[in-house]
Structure 1
Amino acid sequence: MHESVLVANRGEIAGRIIRTVRALGLKAIAVYSEADAGLPFVAEADEAILIGPARAASSYLDIPRIMEAAQRTNARAVHPGYGFLAENAGFARRVLEAGLAWIGPPPDAIERMGDKINARNLMAKAGVPVAPGVTDPVPDADAAVAEAARIGYPIMVKAAGGGGGIGMAVARDEPALRQAYETARTTSARFFGGSGKRADILLERFVEGARHVEVQILGLADGTVLALGERDCSVQRRHQKVVEETPSPGITPELRARMMEAAVRAGEAVGYRGAGTVECLVDPAAQDFFFLEMNTRLQVEHPITELVTGIDLVEQQLRIAAGEPPSFGEVAARGHAIELRVYAEDPATFIPSPGEIKVWEEPVGDGIRIDAGYAEGTTVTPYYDPMLAKLCVHADDRPAALERARVAVAAFRIEGINTNLPFLAELLEHPEFADGSYDTGIVGRMRP
């Protein structure tokens, strides 16, 4: 395997990757910005290189600086984590051209799946169900109205190259569609690159009462694509996930089997290698699903798949990139797992709350896993996503996992900043979440 791995990321995901790298007897190299110098992941690495000031554009998104750090430390592989440069095909190519191993899928797969319109068309050709929608970018608001007449309202408007819910909106009539189109166009151009393809607009039929369910895939070195189960990611605020669980309480075994099969076809269609996720919208009433997008990277919520399967996904990524077979045989899921994302934010408004952490006391016990990016005495800055940690629980069944999550959330003490722990405690008691009948609108109903 690779002698040394540079982790081109920060916070909890950097620390999580570093732990597996070191457990395998490899050298772990961290890069960090000036704002992150005091965070745990920097101390956990065997070597750490300062790559720039706080702004991500001058540090974690600066490809030349990261490549220079790889050269200085004699790194033999680069793991991008998630976010930042993880789905940047140009960065992947730079790594490979430098003679280093890229811990991720081939650059071509990243590129092909990075544009949502191209991905939709490719998946439809591969026999993966897609929602009614467009096959080409929508050039203007008049064209959007014409397409909506064909597709039918309500319509989801989104940027073809976007992510994180940026530019997404639901339109239920023509005036709302025209406004949503212009907003999406302006927003996507600002965030995703001027007038380029990443600013193109996609229209799809919006599924009322949908669940967001994703399938974890693993493309092996020999070309085989495996599906390692699904995760329900329907608890979202502003189109961003807050809580995930596996298995999903909203799908039948028959639907699960169809989704696993479709996810494998999706991975095979792009020659996928490494860990990736096929995201779907599920219509619970019809017990049907549609392809949403493919994330060509490790997901934030990967720990719950690890908890129910016993498979270290980062280890498998490293093995695949080295051309080695997986370290596991037949996959057998066991029990139920839930991940709760702990954010530095107001629990009522979800407004970020930077500042110094005065107290940090993690819950401990059987079936509890904390992947944390911060510790007592560290400072949450306004420069990055405000996620502090991922609180994950595992138990024999869903009721036991829910109870374990309630106890763990109550025991997690963070002082000095606002956190969403009170919201998470409220969610775990909410009737819709408790009985598993929730959909993607649950947070909006809790915080109208």
Structure 2
Amino acid sequence: MSNASPRPLSIAAASPLRGTVTVPGDKSISHRSLMFAGLAVGESRIRGLLEGEDVLATAAAMRAMGADIVREDDGSWTVHGVGVGGLLQPQTALDMGNSGTSTRLLMGLVASHPITATFVGDASLSKRPMARVTEPLAMMGADFTTSPGGRLPLTMRGLCPAVPIAYTLPIASAQVKSAILLAGLNTPGITRVIEPVPTRDHSERMLRGFGADLIVEETPEGRVISITGEATLKPQSIDVPGDPSSAGFWMVAASIVPGSNITIRNVLMNPTRTGLVAALRLMGASIEAVDTRDVGGESVADLRVRHASLSGIEVPADLAPSMIDEYPILFVAAAFARGITVARGAHELRVKESDRIATMAAALTLAGVSVTEHEDGLTIEGRDGEPLAGTGGDRVASLLDHRIAMSMAVAGMHSREAVLIDDAAPIATSYPAFIDTATSLGAAPQWVAA
């Protein structure tokens, strides 16, 4: 999982994008479905699970700690959980591949169990800081031995019973919030997380659906999430909606490629996840939500997206938490807009799979876009709908980051000459069918020799 061979990709303008897309299941919900079902007592069934490498890393880790997880012939997954407090000692290191979500949330689970676990990952994940999670979990009693800089590989020893805490998030992070709440599941008393800036709320919604005693309150200090520990989770039947982060690539692709008209089916429209839709609409994108409906407590819709002339904007900073993973593809949209786009307030991008601010600045510059880098984002001078010139035979450095690779592949869909990407193999971590889907819509990606 952690040592895939590089797969360079070439892509240039072909034809308008037309057709219907079904994107993979939402990654955030897929991770949590496996974890929470693995802690429930009884059998849960999951349909629409994202079968990318990141989610499969979560499945493997939960199996290693005792959960019985099986993919059925019809593509659904069944999970027989061990019960809260029932995680077993893993016999080998837990290989997280490239998945920061798997790592941070599973550390939360382990923190309140009497087990020791070692977490390892690929070169990209091993560069990402873990202190934002280890610090609050250490306050609850977990003990950590980390690599220099608080990074992977790391070994943690959980404490049972752990100590409940009230923790105010210093930065907006759904992963940190979720890790603390998951540690609180097996901790006597009430564990509280205070988030001054709201973040995606899938953990709260799903934990309540599984039967956890969880309360969310709005206060002057922010949103307070309280979970009562020593919980009993009940098995569930889960239908995972389409990932809005994956849908974002096609929203932008259809917006920038002249003549395009596509429909994206079954997209999660949770209000904590729709920042990209809001930003693109502010830029003038034609995105129509059709057949909005409720699926398992989450809002879902089909999105019809047509080519439109985009205009540069100052991206509202309050959208950042609801689109933090979508900034790379938003930067691509800005590259084709009329005028200047300023996208700031996204410090978190510096510590994703790559430094996504610096990596996208370098990639777009190589493709001929005028970019100014800031500590918390980019200012981009758009090309007013004109295609890119290409990368002149040079290769964009994806730095093992799936979203960089896919974002620059979308940029290449409106480029006179080829945009070359040094390694598109990481795309498999979140969207294994991305290349095939691009081809089916009319794009022309090609694998090239390393």
Fold-level match, TM-score > 0.5?
A: no
- Considering Cα pairs closer than 8 Å and 6+ residues apart, tell me whether 1 or 2 has the greater RCO: 2
TM-score relative to the length of structure 1: 0.28
